Amino acid sequence: METFYMYINGKWVQSTNTNVIDVINPSNGEKIAIIPRGTQEDVDSAVKAAKSAFHKEDWRKVKAFERGEILFAIADKIKAHRDELAELESLDVGKPLSQAYADVDAAVRYFRFYGGAADKLMGDTIPIEDGVLDYVVHEPVGVTAHIIPWNYPLQIISRSVAAALATGNTVVVKSAEDTPMTAMRLTEFFDELRLPAGVFNHVTGYGHEAGAALASHPLINHVTFTGSVNTGISVGEAAMANVVPSTLELGGKSPNIVFADCDVESALEGVIQSIIQNAGQTCSAGSRLLVEESFKQVFVERIVKRFNSLTIGPGIQDKDIGPILNEKQFRHIMRMIELAKEEGDILTGGNPVTVKDYERGFYMHPTVIDGIDRDSRLAQEEIFGPVLTVFTFKDIEEALELANSTDYGLVTGIWTKNINTAHYLASRIDSGQIFINNYGAGGGVQMPFGGYKKSGFGREKGWAALYNYTVMKNVAVKYS
């Protein structure tokens, strides 16, 4: 078991009240670390340190390409500690080890992508009239806040912090109290680089305490948050009270739309992996299967058969499905399963699983639910577990209607060999990302990611994310 500290203004510190939070391994319920229970005072210290660092020449004089070199150095450190970080992520989150390795590799790519972008965010000139030179520059916003969820801590820290630093900001990270281990290791990497004090800060604690204090702090200039809709609304309101922009990624109820003319094996693999990844605890999980009516029986039978063959166990053993994060989340899923028993048919799963020697972990059999109404809570709300709901459609218009029938719009998968069908749906589905005959595209580091409707607003990943952390300034020079 390890004891960790917060990192504020270039120093490792305990919380001002010395209270701590236990970090639990979801695979077996054992305590694996202790972190500080950060307070409003701790957050205030971190934000003030970041604000001071932003205005000091030590950081301002760092050239754009040199910021890129800092990010490349972090990427190299992550790669050099690949095995260690993957094990930490697997132990901390519970996800299968191979998936944890994929997260580590994605983190490397984020830092390299934004390291390469640091000196390539160009401005523009605007023709006005003879004697006027008008130009636009993109300047850093200042202090950026990064409130990290528990399900993909290393990836989500990397994608937002790298973009913020690439553009010259200073940052304050608030890691998830449930899964802080890789965030702590990443913080150590930043400390080893000896950046100017206050450029990178990391606070820990509960969301309703440290997270709320960070989102509402008057010296913050941008807030990035990934999490639930209700918490996202609170974060957005707190930021807006200070007239501060926010980037909110708030989850989804994403469909896979499967037509009878699809490549069956590819579609089968895509649908299954999109819902079992990280035990379904993924904002972009393909939690709704919309399958052409004439093809339903054959395809669903194949899914049920595969679900019944999947292995379940601790993430470190690299089974197909790891544990649910904690008892609270597990009980929520099981309440939704009870609703499914009342409203529809459970084709497979729906039951807890006891794993020998890991009896204190919260495991469950992957579940397929059929026969529910499209307006059911099961069809409309995030379950956040390995639970797939099945619906059918007769034609393309019904498929479109079903795809758009929730308050979310994050990701959609379309499986068909008909290019007309694919592009017609892609142009009309309210979804931030559309995948045709795939789902995820290798992690999508370069692709803008974000949602329609209650899936949030703003875009992370790719080049688009750089604009989250800059403010546009226009300069007009009259000369003679």
Partner residues linked to 193 by β-bridges: none
**Residue 55, domain CATH:** 3.40.605.10
**Amino acid code (one letter) for 115:** G
pLDDT at position 442 is 64
Do 244 and 340 share a structural domain? Answer: no
CA distance 85 to 102: 11
Domain-embedded: residue 453:
no
| CB distance 90 to 316 below 8 Å | yes
In the chain, the number of structural domains is 2
DSSP helix, strand, coil percent of the chain (3-state; round to 5)? 45, 25, 35
pTM assigned to the model:
0.97
Residue 356 lies in a domain: yes
Are 414 and 470 found together in one domain? no
Same domain, 141 and 270: no
Q: Verify that 180 and 282 share a domain, yes or no.
A: no
The Cα–Cα gap between 375 and 395 comes to 20
Same domain, 267 and 194: no
- For residues 105 and 34, state if they share a domain: yes
Give the domain CATH number at 379: 3.40.309.10
Q: State the pLDDT at residue 151.
A: 97
In a domain, 450, yes or no: no
Question: Do residues 313 and 428 both lie within one domain?
Answer: yes
The verdict on residue 451 lying in a domain is no
Residues 441 and 462 in one domain: no
From the list 193, 165, 163, 195, the residue with the least C-alpha distance to 76 is 193
Q: How far apart are CA 324 and CA 362, in angstroms?
A: 5
Same domain, 269 and 239: no
Q: What is residue 444's predicted lDDT score, i.e. its pLDDT?
A: 83
Task: Clarify whether residues 272 and 338 are in a common domain.
Answer: yes
Q: Which of 205, 235, 229, 204 is nearest to 217 (CA)?
A: 235
DSSP at 195: P
In a domain, 385, yes or no: yes
Average pLDDT of adjacent 10-residue blocks, the chain of 480 residues: 95 97 97 98 98 98 98 98 98 98 98 98 96 98 98 98 98 98 98 97 98 98 97 97 97 97 98 98 97 98 98 98 97 97 97 97 98 97 98 98 98 98 98 95 86 96 97 97
Are 129 and 153 in the same domain?
yes
Q: Which residues are catalytic?
A: 249
Indicate whether 197 belongs to any domain: yes
Answer yes or no: is 425 within a domain: yes
- Check whether residue 335 and residue 269 sit in a common domain: yes
Taking the C-alpha atoms of residue 200 and residue 214, their distance in angstroms, rounded to an integer, is 14
State residue 443's pLDDT score. Answer: 72
Q: Is residue 268 part of a domain?
A: yes
* Structural domain harbouring 121: 2-250+458-476
